[in-house]
Structure 1
Amino acid sequence: MKRLIVAIQFLTRLPTPRVATSDEDFVGSMRWFPAVGLIIGAIVAAGGWAGAWIDPWVGALAALLLWIGVTGALHLDGLGDIADASGAAHKDRERMIAVMSDPHVGSFGVVAIALQIAAKLVLLHGAVAGQLWWAIALIPFAARIGPLLWSRLLPPLHAGLAARFAHVIRPVHLAIWAGALLIACWFAPALVAAPVAMLAWGAWLRRRIGGISGDGHGAGIELVESALLLIALVVARIA
């Protein structure tokens, strides 16, 4: 339970009890990332449902604001850093890592963040209008399985957050959350595509960046969430 609280503290801005933690607790909290996604998803879906009583666009905006607010834009920051680093990837590796470590956001990052926010708003509108509440609630959970998978498949890019997480995920942890994902697919069939989206992001990171970092995890969560929202809309359209 302590590590779940640590994971909530790390991934969200939600109030939590104060607990004494160690570095081991922080690293081990990664195993609980998908559970935190369930909490985030429930809040986002509730906000979208409440706003939809006024208008689907109001519901979409409420859901988006809660999504960003609850997470503190943590993953959007990672997306911006990855976009800036990708823009500098034609230079040497040291330059690329320096760009990722720079606290300032460049033009690539600004554009990537703006496009992501716009895409999520539009996709959330479609999901709210279609009353895809299960999809909205479960997508943050599914996307946060990604860091567990990427930590197993990709080498750490540098001695940072991802390097600390690299050795805490075992096959049994992936198996447990994969089983939970299968159950979630009963309620939101679009989640079947989650492993494909995660593997695609991992392949892009390996080819373009060379490994995984905290920014890679954050950007991946954002992009997998948007991809699954889009797929949920397509599935609903076909059904």
Structure 2
Amino acid sequence: MSFLAALRFLTAIPIPFKREQWDRPLTQQQFARSLVYYPLVGLIIGGILCGLYWLFSTFLPSILTYALIVSSLAFLTGALHLDGLIDTFDGLAGGHRSPERRKEIMKTPDVGAMGVVAGVVALLLKFAALASIPESHIYAALVLMPVLSRWSMVYAVFHYPYGRGAGMGKELKSGSSAWVLPTASVTAIIFVAIAGGWLGVISMACIWLLTVVLAGFFQSKFQGLTGDNYGAINEIIEFAVLLLVVLFSFNNWL
């Protein structure tokens, strides 16, 4: 049940179960345990992206293929994390606002100019990074990207305080057991090692450092992390993984 909760929460993939099964609310513990499956959901997303890439690249030119992959990722996730990135940058805009005011701005339904710019830039950067990855590394990149970005959210949930009095992020954090992060981390290491070899392992180490920096920055601005911040971390990490693959492949470091 926790795995299906993770799949349903992180993706827009239809769940082939009777509706009445989903009408029963999850317990806090079941919802919190879903964190352990985030890397697995990332692997599923990566597998779908690999299949779509093979299909698109067989019949379409490269540039259109990359654009469709970026679009497919947004649709597969229901733009959940992209929305978090947009809201986070809206909250950061405007200079010397208080953390409380920043969090209020993130909750409003309106979208500011900074958020729109951040969303557009994120999509453009992902497209450009994908277009820069050689064919020999593209499938590894499409797996590493969603696995490591979802793992980074698990790490952020566990190691940084939640910034609101209530919310899904608070339920995830307060209801989780101590074994969830180690289990998710081991699972992620296995996935990235199989998919990318040393590239995957080195990328995970770099992503851990970047997650620490990002989470620490957001904590300083919002007095704790929110669900929108988790989404922003996910989006930034997705691009960072692609950038790492570009760096290693372009410079022949592996």
TM over 0.5: yes
Partner amino acid, structure 1, of 2:26 = S
Residue 61 (structure 2) pairs with residue 55 (structure 1)? yes
Query: Aligned residues: percent identity?
Result: 25
* Secondary structure of residue in 2 paired with 1:145: helix
What is residue 193 of structure 2 aligned with on the other side? 185
Please give the alpha-carbon distance, in whole angstroms, between the structure 1 residues aligned to 2:49 and 2:195.
17
Residues 52-201 of structure 1 mapped to structure 2, 5 A cutoff: 52-53=57-58, 54-88=60-94, 90-127=96-133, 129-158=135-164, 159-183=166-190, 184-188=192-196, 189=199, 190-201=203-214
Contact 1:44–1:64, Cα closer than 8 Å, also in 2: no
What is residue 215 of structure 1 aligned with on the other side? 228
- Out of 39-48 and 182-191, give the one that drifted further: 182-191
Aligned mate of 1:22, from 20, 26, 29: 26
C-alpha change, 1:75 and 1:162, in structure 2 (3 Å) is same
Please give the alpha-carbon distance, in whole angstroms, between the structure 2 residues aligned to 1:141 and 1:180.
10
- Out of 43-52 and 141-150, give the one that drifted further: 43-52
C-alpha change, 1:57 and 1:3, in structure 2 (3 Å) is same
Partner amino acid, structure 2, of 1:27 = A
Please give the alpha-carbon distance, in whole angstroms, between the structure 1 residues aligned to 2:139 and 2:39.
18
Q: Deviations over 1:175-209 (max 9, x none)?
A: 22222333313532133422112112112112222
Contact 2:99–2:223, Cα closer than 8 Å, also in 1: no
Q: Aligned pairs, how many?
A: 238
What is residue 237 of structure 2 aligned with on the other side? 224
Contact 2:163–2:224, Cα closer than 8 Å, also in 1: yes
C-alpha change, 1:175 and 1:94, in structure 2 (3 Å) is closer
Q: What is the CA-CA distance between 1:128 and the residue it aligns to?
A: 6.0
Please give the alpha-carbon distance, in whole angstroms, between the structure 2 residues aligned to 1:103 and 1:127.
36
What is residue 42 of structure 1 aligned with on the other side? 47
- Let me know the Cα RMSD of the aligned residues: 1.8
Contact 2:40–2:147, Cα closer than 8 Å, also in 1: yes
Please give the alpha-carbon distance, in whole angstroms, between the structure 2 residues aligned to 1:6 and 1:186.
26
Partner amino acid, structure 2, of 1:173 = V
Partner amino acid, structure 1, of 2:4 = I
Please give the alpha-carbon distance, in whole angstroms, between the structure 1 residues aligned to 2:65 and 2:134.
7
- Out of 25-34 and 64-73, give the one that drifted further: 25-34
Contact 1:48–1:128, Cα closer than 8 Å, also in 2: no
Structure 1: gaps of 5 or more residues? none
Contact 2:87–2:115, Cα closer than 8 Å, also in 1: yes
Please give the alpha-carbon distance, in whole angstroms, between the structure 1 residues aligned to 2:157 and 2:150.
12
Please give the alpha-carbon distance, in whole angstroms, between the structure 2 residues aligned to 1:141 and 1:21.
27
Higher relative contact order (CA 8 A, sep 6+): 2
- Out of 218-227 and 162-171, give the one that drifted further: 162-171
Q: Deviations over 1:129-153 (max 9, x none)?
A: 4542012123201111122211122
Contact 1:139–1:191, Cα closer than 8 Å, also in 2: no
Which consecutive aligned stretches of 4+ in structure 1 deviate over 6 angstroms post-superposition?
A: none
Contact 2:146–2:238, Cα closer than 8 Å, also in 1: yes
Q: Deviations over 1:76-123 (max 9, x none)?
A: 100000001011461223321110111111111000001011111111
C-alpha change, 1:177 and 1:31, in structure 2 (3 Å) is closer
- Out of 164-173 and 106-115, give the one that drifted further: 164-173
Partner amino acid, structure 2, of 1:217 = Y
Partner amino acid, structure 2, of 1:43 = I
Please give the alpha-carbon distance, in whole angstroms, between the structure 2 residues aligned to 1:161 and 1:186.
32
* Secondary structure of residue in 2 paired with 1:15: coil
What is residue 10 of structure 2 aligned with on the other side? 11
